[in-house]
Amino acid sequence: MREGISGSLLARWCGFGRLGSVLIGIVVAVSLLGWFGIQNAIFAKSLDFALGHKLGFGLAAALSGSLLTILVAFGFKALRIAARIAVPMFILLVAYISISTLSGHNLNEIIQLIPPGESLSISAGITIVVGGAIVASLMTPDLTRYSKNGKHVLGVTIFTIVAGEFVVNGLAILIAKTLGTADVVTIMSQAAGGAGLLVVVFSTLRVNDLNLYSSSLGIVNAVEGLTGKKLKYISTTLVIGVLGTTLSVLGILDRFVDFLTVLGVVFPPIIGIMLVDYYVLRSHRKILDKTRQEGTLPNEKQTPIIGWVAIIASIIGSIVGLVTEWGIPTINSLVVASFIYWAFKVAVNRNQQSIESEETV
């Protein structure tokens, strides 16, 4: 919000440089492509269930993915209508299902219920939770850059976490344990019938609209930054939609936990390095402050081409998070990458200062 620019663009002056920020844009786009595949799989399961399993999951996923891709690519107004319908319907349905399912049950008894499936360690659970929200944290500057002040940004962020993570997800956990299943289509169909499936369809339609749009925009910007050529938005959206739909058909939903785990160790290093550079090292704060007052962005001479230290530190941090079995993977990757970047930059700065002082003498 302070700089008024997107997160991937801000990365240019937070350690990664111009080409490094392009790579971040690609990583974000690929992660959103994965989310598109997952949400489309949920859409397809709802569609297949509603039609009595006559289509089969594969065909249902192909149809739903193709439909949404066409809607997003050609900008039909149906998406705006879906967005207006989905949110209030979702809130009302969550309230209804919570009351109808949880009433008559003792809260302590529900908490003590042993859920089906394999158990997770605390560290694995934390990494999965972080993986589910980490992309949004990197994209937060994209959404809050027009806010009036930092208090508004803080308020929106806290409200989103409280309402989304604590309230909605908390109720979802209790409902899932009560019904003995974590499958959203099964829960919605058992608790609310056709209305529940309709809400799932509208909700995934709206979320996937954002996923596909942002992913396409990220790829277009990345290719333009690397080659100077601007891809056509419609053709890019169609290609990404086909790829995301293919992921759905191939069963990305079955690898959902693995997907979240990867996100939970890949993105924290990027965010950690950006925070260290912006708030601790302040490498380009003077330039950013000056250009912000002028209403411009730093020019090419003031922008590093590529930040190898940040990129290498991010890769090392991600590898550490993936392969180490001690501690919490997402925190391991964040701390390792941030420390490596900070230590190397401090050492380089001190070396440059000593050389300059010797030349002065």
Residue corresponding to tokens 């002065």: 360
Q: Which two tokens stand for residue 332?
A: 């391991």
**Cβ atoms of residues 357 and 321 within 8 Å:** no
In a domain? residue 84 = yes
Q: What SS3 state is found at 100?
A: helix
Q: CA–CA separation, 194 vs 192, rounded Å?
A: 7
Please, which residues have CB within 8 angstroms of residue 271's CB and are 6 or more apart in sequence?
Answer: 134, 137, 138, 334
What distances in angstroms separate CA 150 from CA 171, 292, 301, one per listed residue? 30, 16, 30
Q: Residue 289 domain-assigned?
A: yes
For 247-260, b where at least 16 C-beta lie within 10 A, e where not — what string?
bbbeebbebbeebb
The Cα–Cα gap between 163 and 16 comes to: 33
In a domain, 216, yes or no: yes
Dihedral, CA atoms, 355, 304, 317, 227, nearest 10 degrees?
-150
Predicted local distance difference test score (pLDDT) of residue 59? 92
Using the structure block, give the residue that is written with the tokens 């530190």: 313
Using 50 as the pLDDT threshold, list the residues of the chain that sit under it. none
Q: What is the pLDDT of residue 196?
A: 76
Residue 322: exposure state from Cβ atoms within 10 A (0-12, 13-18, ≥19): middle
Cα 59 to the chain's mean position, in Å? 27
Q: What is the DSSP letter of 229?
A: P
What local confidence, expressed as pLDDT, does residue 309 receive? 94
Contact between 212 and 241 under an 8 Å Cβ cutoff? The reply is yes
pTM over 0.75? The answer is yes
**Domain limits at 79?**
7-360
Domain membership of residue 128 (yes or no) is yes
CATH of the domain at 105: 1.10.4160.10
Query: Based on the number of CB atoms within 10 Å of its own CB, is 89 exposed (0-12), middle (13-18) or buried (19 or more)?
Result: middle
Q: What is the CA radius of gyration of the chain?
A: 23
Number of structural domains (the chain) is 1
Tell me phi and psi for residue 228, to 5 degrees.
85, -5
Q: For the stretch 204-237, what's the b/e string if a residue is b when 16 or more beta carbons lie within 10 angstroms of its beta carbon?
A: bbbbbbbbbbbbbbbbbbbbebeeeeebebeebb
Q: What is the pLDDT of residue 3?
A: 66
pLDDT for res 253:
81
Residues contacting 176, CB < 8 A, separation 6+: 115, 182, 187
Asked if residue 321 is part of any domain, the answer here is: yes
pLDDT of amino acid 138: 75
- Please report whether residue 1 resides in a domain: no
- Does residue 2 fall inside a structural domain? no
